[in-house]
Every structure is written in C-alpha cells, then in structure tokens.
Amino acid sequence: MMCRWVRVEEKIIILTKCKNKVLNFMNKTLSKMLMVLPLMVAATSCSEGDVTMIGTGDAIADGPRYIDVDVQTQRNTRGGAVEATVNELKKTGERFSIVSQYTGSKTWAETVKGGVFDISSSQNPFYQSQYVTWNDSKWTYKYIKEWPETGNTTFFSYYGSPYYYSFSDKSPEFTVYQNSDATQMVDALFALSPDLNRGVNNGKVKINFKHILTRLDFKISLDKPVDKDVWGETKVFVNDLSIDKASTKLVDKARFVIGQTAVLGQAPAASEKPEFCYWKPMDNATRFTSDYSLYSLLDTEYSYYKQYNTTAVQPFRKERGEGPDDPDFIGPASLFKTGNYLFLLPPSNDGITGEQDIIVKIGYTIVQFGEAVYGLTKYKQLKVALPKGSLKPGKAYLFNLIINPTEDLIKVVPTVQDWDTLGEMNVAMATAATADNADIRDAWNQLVKQCTDKDQKFSYYVLKVDAPFPAGGIDISTAQVFPKPSALVKLVFNDGTVLSDVKDRIQLPTGYYIDDTVKSENIIRFKIR
C-alpha cells in the first residue's frame, strides 16, 4: 500500500507540474492577445495596403518585441549626400526594400565564412523582401514582424536601380541593372545591418546606406580665350554628350556581392569567402551596341533658343596665374541640368583599368561673330577616354572637358571627391600652407568671404592644411563667423588627424564646436541656440 501511495503521489506531482506549464502558457498567450488586440481593432479601419509599425510600448524583459527601423541621417552617417537621399526617401511614393538572414548563435561574419545560408528559416523575420516607406513621421512596413526569441539576425536594405537578390554558395548577391535611359538610372544604395536582436539598439534596425554605383558630372571649358582679332567673338554650344559604344566596360548588368563587412573592396580569391562587398561581372552581361546617350541630362536650353546671347556657354580656363578674382574670368560651364547626374555600374572594383574602357563623345557647335565671319557655325565631334583609376564604386567624379575648338583638341581633367562633398551640397575650398594660427585663420576667413557672397550658394566648406596638426594645438578663436549658421566646415590636416581626438587643443570662434558624431569627417558646426 505504501508503495502504491508513493506512485500516486509522484503522479500528482507530475500532473501539477504539467498543470503549471499549461497555466503559464495560457497566461502568456492571453497576455499576447491583450497586447495585440488594439492592433487588431486598429486594423479593421485600414485597407490591406496600409502599414502599421510598432515602435514603442511593446517592450518585454529583454527588449522590444516588434522590429522597427531607423534610417540614419547626416549626424550618424558620412555627410550631406546621404542626408539628402534620406530626405528623398521620405517623399510620397518613395520606398526601399529590406530582407534578412537569421544566423542564430553565429555572427554574420561566421555565417559568410561557413557559406551556408537558410533564408527560409522559420526564425527569419524578413525571408521575403518588404518595402519600407515613410508614413506619418515614422518608417513603416506591411505585416508586422517580431524579433526571434533568441539568436542573431542580419538585415540587408537596398534602394534605387532594379535589384534582384539571390543566395549563392558563398554569400548573398544582388543583380543590379544599368537602365538604358540615363534619366531613369538613379542612385543605388545598400546597407548591411549585422548581428542584431531585440536587445540591441532598443530593437531598431539601424540602416546606414552606402552608395555602390559611381556618379559622374561634367563641365566644359576652353583651354584659353579665343583671339577675337582672328576669330571674332566665338561661342561654343554643346549639342550632345554620350558614352561611345566602343567603350568596352559599359554593360547592362552586374552582381553586387555582400561580404562579411559593409566596406566596399576587392573580390576574394576563388577559394576564399568575401570579406568585403564587391562587384562581380556576369557571364551573360551584354555590352551596349549603340551610344549611351546623355542628351536628356544636358542643359541644352541655352543653345539655339537663346540666340547665342548667354555667357554660360563661352567658358574658358584662364592662363596660369589668373583666376576667379579677375572680373573677366569665365569659369567652366556645367553640362548637366541642376541636380542631374550620371550613375553607372562601376567598370570594376578598381574602377577603370584599361585605357579605352569608357569613352565619352561630345558634339558641339562653334559660332563665330565678326565682320568677316558673322554667324559662321561649324559642328564638331570629339572623343576622349576617361582616365584609368576613375569610376570606382561609391565615388563621385566631376570631369572638366577642356577643348581647343580651333585645333580640334580635347582633354579631360578629373576631380575625385567623396560622395558627401559633391553635388547635393555646394562645396567651397581654401588651403592653409602651414599649420600656423594665422594661416589657418586666413583660410577660414576666405571661406567666410565666399559665404558672404550672395551669388555663391555654398553650404559646405573644406579647409585643407598642408601640414601636420601642431603639437601645441591651434587657436583660431579670432576668426570670423559665417553669416549662415547652417554652414559646415571640414578641417583637414595632411597627417590625417581626427579633430575629436585633439579637441582639447583646438580653440574655435565663439559658438563653433567639433561634431563628435561624425568623427572621421572632422566636421565643425555652429551651435544654434
């Protein structure tokens, strides 16, 4: 009897434990239902296409339950171009895509090295890509996603030109297409957000977009003023601009491979896994069989429609020793409409590697005015290859086409800048020859003078110092104040000093401070009260 009683007691204990588990499960389930009930009620007033995002108020013991996103802006990224792009993404009708990979106990780097990807895992929240849009002051997406209970998830975000993603035996890949219409080929952005869970960043997926295409802008100038005594008054009008079909590296598509880090770099050896994100040629990519026209990007209104009466199309480069301070100086003329750029698939991870990889063809009309040649016009066409080393991924380029119209000669001078210092923000530059306080202060004041000029729409100022940061620090506290509080100043020493690391040795004009949130950019801002 005693033994049987013990057995019954054991059974009772077991049943009690099971009962507790059931009760706990029911309590948790009821709790979840109560949390979701307001969402269900709200959903009844929304159409199927409406988006709901939970950003706050759904926290559990180890972090928020629902996945939220945060697209980084200027203070958290590298500068103005990304900031402008983010603002563009917030416009009605704009959107970007997001997809994820659940890696569990492994990091993203370990997963790439292992080469095994299971996007269909039940733990993977975005196993299918989702559109993310800006809606009512927050980033939103359709069908609410929960964080996995445990483990890491890596997110891939992309925007711009047509993308298609797939997972190879090495790493995820995106196929990116070159639009045949230059006006429809837009900036392509990509972001890698690795090793996240609901306990990181308060449950938010921070998206730091990177530019992965190469961007081109063109200006034109004459190599020297035309001799009016010989040629009369001469003006040059650009009629067309294109990439010649003879260009060997202009193709319709390429693959962008995701590496262990978001850094753009080189392709790995055949037996290795990718450390960096890189461009990979496609065997079935097609070369363009006709010229890639840029005519739709050109500011051509001034040509025949204004009867040759504008100075914007008679630019020339002054002889050495002369410059913009000369009242007769006419600088290079922009060929593209304001805000228009050419976006291209990079020829390779090293940009242009061959002498004839990318060839630009320009057509222009010379108009001569004078007693002997009044109204004489002549159409010409010249070709020039863009220089080796240009057109690298994630870089922006300004090419100044310099022509000698009387001798049919053309050359190209490239200016290479980081994307964030070109285009979306107008850039003014000044240089200090030494690290002496007086030289730096004078260069600073030169930028202030440019800011004062109402005809110059600068908002970004670069001050380069052709010397290392001095051991004793710098004191430019007596320098002038920019009339535009929004002006940003990038102060660069030739030894690569990071200003935030030496800010205790820097004295700035009243109201200015070093922005620590963008350390490597050496940005100085005015503190608006």
405 versus 483: which is more confidently predicted? Answer: 483
Decide: helix, strand or coil at residue 12. Answer: helix
How large is the greatest C-alpha to C-alpha distance in the chain, in angstroms? 132
Distance separating alpha carbons of residues 234 and 373, to the nearest angstrom? 10
Give the chain's mean pLDDT: 75
Per-residue buried b or exposed e for 154-170, using 16+ beta carbons within 10 Å of the residue's own CB: bbbbbbbbebebeeeeb
Cα dist from 528 to 484, 485, 511, whole Å: 11, 7, 8
Distance separating alpha carbons of residues 364 and 4, to the nearest angstrom? 106
378 versus 149: which is more confidently predicted? Answer: 149
Measured at the CA of 189, the angle between CA 492 and CA 295, to 5 degrees, comes to 95
Contacts (Cβ under 8 Å, ≥6 apart) of 257: 168, 170, 171, 172, 173, 267, 274, 277, 278, 279, 280
Provide the token pair at 300: 């051509």
Say yes or no to pLDDT of 315 above 60: no
158 touches 97 (CB < 8 A): yes
Of 487, 381, 393, which Cα lies nearest the Cα of 444? 487
Average pLDDT estimate for 20-24: 44
Cα dist from 373 to 72, 348, 366, 378, whole Å: 59, 48, 12, 11
Cα dist from 506 to 462, 473, 474, 500, 528, whole Å: 17, 6, 5, 9, 20
DSSP 8-state secondary structure symbol assigned to residue 317: P
Helix ranges (H only) for 58-201 are: 80-89, 108-114
Distance separating alpha carbons of residues 468 and 101, to the nearest angstrom? 45
Decide: helix, strand or coil at residue 86. Answer: helix
Cα dist from 479 to 167, 476, 482, whole Å: 55, 5, 10
Residue type, 2: M
459 touches 486 (CB < 8 A): yes
Cα atoms in the Cβ-side hemisphere of radius 13 Å centred on 305: 6
Tens of pLDDT, residue by residue over 271-283, are 788 999 999 999 9
Residue appearing with tokens 């923000």: 425
pLDDT at residue 298 in the model: 84
pLDDT at residue 458 in the model: 57
Say yes or no to pLDDT of 23 above 50: no
Q: Give all strands (DSSP E) within 311-443, no chain letters.
A: 333-334, 342-344, 359-369, 376-385, 395-404, 409-418, 427-432
Tens of pLDDT, residue by residue over 492-505, are 998 889 898 899 99
Tens of pLDDT, residue by residue over 375-386, are 567 788 999 999
Q: Give all strands (DSSP E) within 11-112, no chain letters.
A: 59-60, 63-64, 68-71, 96-104
Contacts (Cβ under 8 Å, ≥6 apart) of 351: 214, 388, 389, 390, 391, 392, 393, 395
Of 349, 317, 320, which Cα lies nearest the Cα of 333? 317
Say yes or no to pLDDT of 291 above 70: yes
* Res. 137 pLDDT band, cuts 50 70 90: confident
399 touches 386 (CB < 8 A): yes
The side-by-side arrangement of strands in the sheet containing 376-385 is: 292-293, 233-243, 359-369, 376-385
Provide the token pair at 64: 């928020």
Say yes or no to pLDDT of 303 above 60: no
245 touches 338 (CB < 8 A): no
pLDDT at residue 350 in the model: 93
Of 43-57, 102-116, 211-225, 238-252, give the lowest mean pLDDT range: 43-57
Distance separating alpha carbons of residues 515 and 523, to the nearest angstrom? 6
169 touches 111 (CB < 8 A): no
Cα dist from 68 to 53, 96, 125, 203, whole Å: 7, 14, 12, 7
Provide the token pair at 273: 């896994």
Distance separating alpha carbons of residues 350 and 266, to the nearest angstrom? 8
Say yes or no to pLDDT of 155 above 80: yes
DSSP 459-482: -EEEEEESSPPPTT-EE-TTSPPP
* Res. 148 pLDDT band, cuts 50 70 90: very high
Distance separating alpha carbons of residues 224 and 26, to the nearest angstrom? 85
27 versus 123: which is more confidently predicted? Answer: 123
Say yes or no to pLDDT of 204 above 80: yes
- φ, ψ for residue 497, nearest 5 deg: -60, 135
Residue appearing with tokens 């559109």: 131
Distance separating alpha carbons of residues 165 and 83, to the nearest angstrom? 26
Distance separating alpha carbons of residues 511 and 152, to the nearest angstrom? 43
230 versus 35: which is more confidently predicted? Answer: 230
Distance separating alpha carbons of residues 50 and 52, to the nearest angstrom? 7
* Res. 83 pLDDT band, cuts 50 70 90: very low
Per-residue buried b or exposed e for 117-150, using 16+ beta carbons within 10 Å of the residue's own CB: bebebebbbbeebbebbbeeeebbbeebbebbee
Q: Which helix (H) or strand (E) holds 513?
A: strand 512-514
Distance separating alpha carbons of residues 76 and 82, to the nearest angstrom? 10
Average pLDDT estimate for 145-155: 94
Tens of pLDDT, residue by residue over 88-113, are 777 778 889 999 999 999 999 999 99
Paired residues of 423 in beta bridges: none
Of 9-23, 41-55, 478-492, give the lowest mean pLDDT range: 41-55
pLDDT at residue 72 in the model: 64
